[in-house]
Amino acid sequence: MLRDSHPNKSITIHDVAKAADVSKSTVSLVLQGSPLIRDETAERVREAARKLGYVYNRRAAELRRQASNTVGVVINDLMNPFFAEVLVGIERRLVDAGYIVLMAHTHESLDRQRKVLASMREQNAAGLIICPAFDTPRTLTKEVQAWGIPLVVMVRSLGAGSYDYAGSDNERGVLLAMRHLLARGHKRIGFLGGRSGVVYEQRLRGYAGALEEAGIRLDERLIIASDPSRQGGSDAMAAMLRIKLKITAAVCYNDITAFGALATLGEHGLRAGTDFALIGFDNVLAAAHSNPPLTTVDIRPDDLGEHAAAALMARIENPQLKRQVYLAEPRLVLRQSG
C-alpha cells in the first residue's frame, strides 16, 4: 500500500521508489516518460509520486545526465584471466584518454548486473562497456540506450541490434583448431566446456563445420558441456575419458577450461601433446606457461579490450555514428599440447 509522507519531509526519488516498491532507475524512467516500463508499474510510480507530493525537476535531471569522465565496465567473470587481460586493454586506452574506469564483477548474476548498471547510471557514467551475464535479455541494449548512455557490448553478443560490439570470430577460430587436428590424423575429436549462449553456439558451429568438411559425422557424445572454468574443464575431461570412445584430441571452449582438462589428463597418467592433443581458445598469457604449453586460438584479449574502449570513445564523441563492430581475427598458436 502507498503511504503518505510527513508534510515537513523533503521528498526524494528514493522515497517514491520505496513507496512504489520499485528501483530508483525505474522511477527515473517513468518520470522521463520512457516506454520501457509496463503501464501498471508506471501508474503505480506516478500514484506514489502524487501521494508523496514529489515534483520532478527535469532541469536538474538534465544537468545530472551531463557526461562525466567515468566509464563503467561490467565483467561477468573476473576469475577468468581472459577478462582480466581484456580489462587491461580497456583501462590502458581509457586512462590514456583521461577517463576513470569504474569496474564491477557480476559473477554471472543477472540481479547483480541489474544493480551495478543502475548504480553506474546514478553515478552519471559517461559510457558503459559490458560483457553480459548468461541469459541477459536482448532488451538490455535498448534500455541502456533509453538512458542516454553510450554502450559497447563485448565478447558475448546480444543478437541483432544497433549497439556497438567488440568480440571475435568464434566460429572461424574453432574451425582453424579443428582443421589442424584433422590434418594431424585425428578422427575422434571432442569439444569440451561451455553450456549455452551465442559464443558457445558459434564455437560449436566451427567444430561441426570442420567435421563436415572432413566428411566425418558429428557424434553428440563427443560434446561434453561444462561450466567454462578450471573445475568445469577438469570434470569434462574426466567424463570424456570415462566414455571410452577412443577419443584422441579435443578443442576446449576456452583456455581456462583447457587448464582444467590438462590437470585431469595428468591425473590419469596422460600427457597432452604425446598421448592426447588439446587446444584451447583465447591465448591468455598463462597458456604459454602451462605444463605442457597450451596450443590455443589467439584472439589477443588486451587488444580486444582496446578496441572496445576505442568504440565507446567514438560513440561518446559522435552519438550519430553508424553501428561499430570489431571482430578479432583468430590465429592458431602452436605449442606442445596440440
39, 183: one domain:
no
Phi first, then psi, for residue 215 (nearest 5°) are: 75, 25
Mean model confidence pLDDT for the chain:
90
Name the residue with cell 561444462. Answer: 226
What percent of the chain lies above the pLDDT cut of 70?
A: 92
CATH code for the domain in which residue 33 is found: 1.10.260.40
Whether 2 is in a domain gets the answer no
For residue 46, the enclosing domain spans 13-63
Same domain, 151 and 53: no
Do 73 and 136 lie in one domain? The reply is yes
| pLDDT at 229 exceeding the cut of 70 | yes
Residues 27 and 49 both lie in one domain? yes
Whether 41 and 92 share a structural domain: no
Same domain flag for 276 and 321 = no
Same domain, 73 and 87: yes
- Say yes or no to pLDDT of 60 above 60: no
Rounded distance between C-alpha atoms, residue 31 and residue 245, angstroms = 61
Grid cell 574453432 is found at 174
Q: 238-265, pLDDT tens digit by residue?
A: 999 999 889 999 999 999 999 999 999 9
143 located within any domain: yes
Which H/E stretch holds residue 151? strand 151-154
Same structural domain for residues 186 and 227? yes
How many Å from the N-terminal Cα to the C-terminal Cα in the chain? 64
Query: Other CB atoms closer than 10 Å to residue 305's CB: what's the count?
Result: 27
281 CA to centre of own chain: 15
List pLDDT tens digits, range 202-225. 999 999 999 999 999 999 999 999
Is this model's pTM higher than 0.85 or not?
Answer: no
For residues 285 and 179, state if they share a domain: yes
Alpha carbon dihedral 312, 315, 316, 319, in 10-degree steps, equals -160
Going across the sheet that includes 100-105, the strands are 100-105, 70-75, 127-130, 151-154, 164-168, 325-328
Are 305 and 164 contained in the same domain? yes
- Nearest CA to 311 among 103, 64, 77, 97? 97
Q: Is 251 exposed, middle or buried (0-12, 13-18, 19+ CB in 10 A)?
A: buried
What CATH number is given to the structural domain containing 310?
Answer: 3.40.50.2300
CB atoms within 10 A of CB 203: 28
C-alpha to C-alpha distances, 118 to 14, 36, 153, nearest whole angstrom: 13, 15, 16
Check whether residue 308 and residue 164 sit in a common domain: yes
Residue 8 inside a domain? The answer is no
Domain membership of residue 334 (yes or no) is no
19 part of a folded domain: yes
pLDDT tens string 318-336: 989 999 999 999 999 999 9
Residue 98 lies in a domain: yes
